[in-house]
């Protein structure tokens, strides 16, 4: 990617927009408690969207190793935080990733980095789940990939329908997970 990890010019421009947003909602951006808020908010949104400045395929390529053992590999409870592209409000939860290795494996921490790469963008949960699954299916030698995501959305909890206990579950899978229901059931039993 060509975008630098820290871009002071972009952060300053974002801060100017936050200052204007404060004014437009009826606040005084020069009030003591708000003077530094535009810059803090700009740095926060820049960090929250750091996935735009990372290459998920490069993350995968850095950690693929020879392996001829496991029938299934599952990493569960990978926490993530993302921003709903419809309301620019947070949604967050946990992702579980499973795959059937085909003579290769990926370093386990890279699975969490891949989740973060896609989660730290303006996102919808359905696409996040599919992007993680698709990337691994395309770049990691495998006989199938499965991804499950369970998240709560502040756009449903603090505005609109205001359903505090609601959560959303999404799944995506490829390869033998499509053909073999028992493999999907095995994965689901591991993550419960």
Residues marked active site are found at 84-87, 125, 153, 155
Strand spans (E) along the chain: 64-66, 73-84, 90-101, 104-106, 122-123, 142-153, 168-173
Residues 6+ apart with CB under 8 A from 165: none
Nearest-5° Cα angle at 176, 175 to 177: 90
**How far apart are alpha carbons 56 and 131 in whole angstroms?**
10
């Amino acid at each position: 990617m060509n975008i630098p990890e820290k871009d002071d010019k972009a952060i300053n421009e974002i801060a100017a927009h936050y200052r204007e947003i404060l004014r437009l909602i009826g606040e005084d951006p020069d009030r003591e408690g708000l003077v530094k808020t535009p810059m803090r908010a700009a740095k926060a949104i820049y960090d929250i969207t750091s996935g735009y400045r990372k290459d998920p395929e490069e993350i995968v390529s850095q950690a693929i190793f020879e392996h001829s053992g496991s029938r299934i590999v599952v990493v569960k409870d990978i926490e993530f935080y993302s921003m709903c592209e419809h309301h620019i409000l947070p949604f967050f939860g946990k992702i579980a990733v499973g795959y059937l290795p085909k003579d290769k494996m990926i370093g386990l921490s890279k699975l969490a980095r891949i989740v973060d790469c896609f989660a730290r963008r303006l996102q919808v949960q359905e696409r996040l789940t599919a992007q993680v699954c698709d990337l691994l299916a395309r770049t990691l030698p495998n006989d199938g990939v499965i991804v499950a995501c369970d998240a709560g959305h502040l756009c449903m909890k603090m505005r609109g329908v205001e359903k505090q206990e609601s959560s959303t579950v999404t799944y995506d899978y490829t390869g033998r997970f499509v053909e073999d229901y028992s493999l999907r059931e095995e994965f689901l039993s591991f993550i419960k």
